[in-house]
Amino acid sequence: MHAIALRRGARAPEVIETPRPEPDTDEVLVRTLRVGVDGTDHEVIAGHHGGFPAGDDHLVLGHEAVGVVEDPNGTAFKQGDIVVPTVRRPLPDGPTEYFERGEPDMSPPEDVIERGITGGHGFMSEYFTSSTEFLLPIPDELAEWGFLVEPISIAEKAIELARASRSAFDWQPESALVLGNGSLGLLTTAMLTESFDRVYCLGRRDRPDPTIDIIEELGATYVDSRETPVSEIPGVYEPMDFIFEATGYPKHAFESIEALAPNGVAALLGVPDEWTFEVDGGALHRELVMHNKALVGSVNSGYRHFEAAIETLSGLPEWLLDDLVTGIFDSSNVEEAFANDETTIKAAVKFYDNEER
């Protein structure tokens, strides 16, 4: 079968031929429908993040997959079930404590495999196998968009952690700010408009721009970071009860403290490289304390966040998905699928069209 992989030393993905996997006991063989491309893939390709499977000269990419069960292999799944896999797997001889708790997302990342990212092949191949414990069924009508379940689950987890951090008191948030107008930022903006009165999304794009169109169509407000730096947002717009950082720009983590309203929380999701800069650490510390503010970091997502994401995806309007997904590329068309220009919001690679069956 063919697969899209990054070879050791390469700086671009390519199509390779690799054997079709055989399902082990309690594993299902899945025919891949679509796999999303995201910022993590670009970081893996650039060599900033992730790692190759031990002993292999390549890493099959892709961690945002939807597929159809080809061989249930005696499990409770049925042939034709539409399924989405989670990403983390135990290391061969690694600790399984967090998996046993049902919370592999809370494991230190160095103790797990992340399929398509670190130490294990991803889902960008015609077929993949997965243990049933890491596979969620989704409604048939979500087959086309199922590759969005994983990124939505990332937002579900971060929002859950942020809300939990405010659960000791009567938190009544109204305003939310999403930092970043990439696909995760836009999906999160859509999710937050359901529960916040006023939602803002920050980017650095000129109009006309399709991401700004989506932000405004959602009823949210576009904030241009070139005109209004994060720290000035409270003065120009309003202080924010909740901030969702999806830029990976570390100054945003610190500026968020100033942009929060009293009792607000910022969820951090970016994974920046080292960068030393000056901060007024005294003022930031004091501000966190005097206004009961919080910062929570969040990585990956667990089974229950995938379940919440399936629910969320079902409720997203069709126009949003159409506008957000700017390209579905054939698996032979690697270059275009991984293009990362201003016309791309979200791309996915198509391996198989379920309608063809």
Residue numbers at the binding site for a copy of itself (CB under 8 A):
101, 103, 105-109, 160-161, 163-170, 250-251, 253-254, 262-263, 268-299
CB 104, min distance to a copy of itself, A: 11
Q: Which is nearer to a copy of itself, 103 or 209 (CB)?
A: 103
CB 179, min distance to a copy of itself, A: 12
Q: Which is nearer to a copy of itself, 170 or 355 (CB)?
A: 170
| Cβ-contact 244, 159 below 8 angstroms | yes
Q: Which is nearer to a copy of itself, 130 or 247 (CB)?
A: 247
| Cβ-contact 206, 192 below 8 angstroms | no
Q: Which is nearer to a copy of itself, 118 or 344 (CB)?
A: 118
CB 201, min distance to a copy of itself, A: 20
Q: Which is nearer to a copy of itself, 221 or 263 (CB)?
A: 263
| Cβ-contact 178, 188 below 8 angstroms | yes
The 58-60 sheet, strands edge to edge: 14-17, 2-7, 58-60
**Which residues, in sequence order, are bridge partners of residue 176?**
199, 242
| Cβ-contact 206, 184 below 8 angstroms | no
CB 302, min distance to a copy of itself, A: 8
**Residue 101 DSSP SS3:** coil
| Cβ-contact 264, 295 below 8 angstroms | no
Alpha helices in 127-182 (DSSP H): 149-165
From the number of C-beta atoms within 10 Å of its C-beta (0-12, 13-18, 19+), residue 53 rates as middle
The torsion angle over the Cα atoms of residues 43, 45, 46 and 47, rounded to 10 degrees, is 90
Distance CA 35, CA 32 (A): 8
Q: Which is nearer to a copy of itself, 95 or 317 (CB)?
A: 95
